[in-house]
Amino acid sequence: MMNPNIKRWETRSRWVEVDLDRCVGTGNCEATCPAGVYHVIDGIVDARNIGNCISCEQCKIACPSGAIIAHHAWT
């Protein structure tokens, strides 16, 4: 059974999973993502722009709580 607090955003060629239980809403992902994938609104991350992901992993590196579990983009 999948954890309901793990949110997944996806397109046909890109996806990201964020554990909302671990996300502390610092906005580091938003600040470091060169593709503008993330937005933090009222302390909650949103990745509805996942289609822009270039799979650089800067969001994972910048996340202090390890909330960004996995992401992938391919062309």
Residues in the chain: 75
Specify whether the CB–CB gap between 50 and 9 falls below 8 A: yes
Domain 6-73 has CATH 3.30.70.20: yes
Specify whether the CB–CB gap between 9 and 48 falls below 8 A: yes
The domain ranges of the chain are: 6-73
Residue type, 20: L
- Among the listed ranges 32-36, 51-55, 59-63, 69-73, which one has the minimum average pLDDT value? 69-73
0.75 surpassed by pTM? yes
Answer yes or no: is pLDDT of 72 > 80: no
| Interval 11-24: pLDDT, tens | 888 888 899 999 99
The whole-angstrom separation of Cα 49 and Cα 2 is: 23
